[in-house]
Structure 1
């Protein structure tokens, strides 16, 4: 018989979109099957999750950008001592499936591809979109690209490829891979590349609650990191809290 949640409730989880596919399609199901502990996930870009937390919504467990987890730890919102690095992913570009793949092998290729696009979709609230907006400024093409850009407040930018709002989508590679019917052209070239690392930690209120601790250990385990690889995610670089 599977052990039941000792508190009689499901573990609430706030998570970045970058790991949504891995959690929904595999890991949360495996965790519940093995432990009998239910999980109530809520997915949003990290910046949106931070807004919600600052407004008073505090989940039992949080997966977010590592630097933001550290900041929340300093504020006393999450238990940084229990933080585990989960995965990292780079920013990339996608097109609708079965359409020509543009060149992005070099920064010059990327610039031409972005300038030639009818519309580029990206989210300004996610870590990838924040970086991409800064990159456009460094490349000197922000005005030209943003004049025709499709801005997504939250969610998957690649969804705009399916309804024709955009012909290119920029987001974390793992997030682009989540949308059926699109092809990931690849990550940005080395001189424009940017990896974002994500970590998991319990809230301070749930730090001593066994189901929350078990979820943190499971999703931050080596076994889980192997599973993340099937969803476009890479092993994290850091291991310290």
Structure 2
């Protein structure tokens, strides 16, 4: 099966295996880890090139690029890609959207499942939780706004934890450090030690588009561009869906 996927990807990209395999570096967020990891795996087998990835949170990706870390490809939330393209840190015109993720909720595996399918149910779950944990990225910022919209912002201030960028909310829940947590669905769906409850209500939902772009100082431009194309290939888009994200 993997051989067949590699052949299909190679054909879709119009690539030929290079005699001299190149090595490219990627900086990417944990929220897109499963789909990007699989895309890279298929890409490497199809082309013979090597991809080295540093995984962290969306805000940490942005900070590292801003501070001058040089890589070939940067994967991040689309708004961060746009901002750093305007700043000249990323190559203008190379933004490649490949997935969209919604925000989900979870509880520890040892806890009873709670209903978060409506605004009223979510509000009740928040008020009954002894502690709540949200990310410090785009999903966490949005959830703080949701708390205010539901009229429980003040009640949640004292019992809401917001760990540094890159932290996995599932880890806090599994360790019993919070009763209810929120993060991108792709980071919760397959996590161990938790019960994934589902996405937050549509009327409160926020979608993050994940994109990739060339770094302004990319050393292997042609190979990096091929990886961007791989992220949009039909084969990889199937993998994106199984990770809990929506293909774009």
Same fold (TM over 0.5): yes
Are 2:12 and 1:17 aligned?
Answer: no
User: What secondary structure sits across from 2:162 in the alignment?
Assistant: strand
**Residue number in structure 2 paired with 1:138:** 149
Any stretches of 5+ residues in structure 2 without a counterpart?
1-15
Q: For 1:207 and 1:70, how far apart are their aligned partners in 2?
A: 21
**Residue number in structure 1 paired with 2:210:** 198
Are 2:140 and 1:129 aligned?
Answer: yes
User: Cα distance, 1:82 vs. partner?
Assistant: 2.2
Q: For 1:84 and 1:207, how far apart are their aligned partners in 2?
A: 19
Q: For 1:198 and 1:80, how far apart are their aligned partners in 2?
A: 16
Paired residues of 2:107 and 2:113 also in contact (CA < 8 A):
yes
**Residue number in structure 2 paired with 1:179:** 191
Are 2:56 and 1:47 aligned?
Answer: no
Runs of 4+ in 1 over 6 A off after TM superposition: none
RMSD after superposition? 1.9
TM-score by length of 2: 0.86
Per-residue CA deviation, residues 66-124 of structure 1 (Å, 9 max, x unaligned), is: 12211222222222322211101111101223632111121011011011012111122
How many residue pairs get aligned? The number is 232
Q: For 1:144 and 1:159, how far apart are their aligned partners in 2?
A: 24
Write out aligned runs for 1:58-77 (5 A): 58-77=70-89
Any stretches of 5+ residues in structure 1 without a counterpart?
237-241
**Residue number in structure 1 paired with 2:3:** none
User: Cα distance, 1:5 vs. partner?
Assistant: 5.3
Q: For 2:32 and 2:117, how far apart are their aligned partners in 1?
A: 26
TM-score by length of 1: 0.89
